[in-house]
């Protein structure tokens, strides 16, 4: 299996622009998670899905953030409009069960200028 796939790996954008991060979970995993990692706050859970349905989005920082999972093999995290304080590494992870071992993607490093 290719593992969790994220794209792009790096994204540099200007403040106010829309940013879309993409994730393909491991096939057969029913749970998908979006995390954000910064030096100041460490790793934080933003939202997670079960069978494509959002279960808990209490970690989403603001209404500027939205996440979707239209099918079992694809999810997006969108930031609109982006701000410099959104600069971070965003990870997607999937797991076969809950709570269970989570398998992380390589992350997307987002820089908002």
User: Residue 6's closest CA among 102, 87, 94, 70?
Assistant: 94
Instruction: Report the distance separating Cα 19 and Cα 43, nearest Å.
Output: 20
Judge contact between 78 and 110, C-beta under 8 A.
no
Q: Which is nearer to other proteins, 79 or 107 (CB)?
A: 107
Q: Which is nearer to other proteins, 70 or 99 (CB)?
A: 99
17-56 mask for other proteins (x: CB under 8 A)?
-------------------------xx-x----------x
Instruction: Report the distance separating Cα 15 and Cα 18, nearest Å.
Output: 9
Residue 112: CB minimum distance to other proteins, A: 19
**CA-based torsion, 80, 108, 52, 93: positive or negative:** negative
- Asked if 105 interacts with other proteins (CB under 8 A), we say yes
Binding site for other proteins (CB under 8 A): 4, 42-43, 45, 56, 58, 91, 93, 98-99, 101-107, 109
């Amino acid at each position: 299996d290719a593992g969790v796939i994220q794209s792009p790996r790096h994204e540099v954008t200007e403040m106010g622009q829309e940013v879309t991060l993409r994730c393909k979970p491991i096939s057969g995993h029913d749970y998908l998670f979006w995390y954000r990692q910064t030096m100041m706050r460490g790793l934080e859970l933003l939202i997670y899905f079960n069978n494509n349905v959002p279960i808990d989005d209490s970690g989403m920082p603001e209404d500027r953030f939205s996440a979707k999972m239209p099918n079992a093999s694809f999810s997006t995290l969108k930031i609109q409009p982006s701000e410099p304080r959104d600069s971070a590494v965003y990870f997607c992870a999937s797991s076969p069960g809950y709570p269970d071992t989570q398998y992380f993607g390589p992350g997307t490093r987002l820089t908002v200028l």
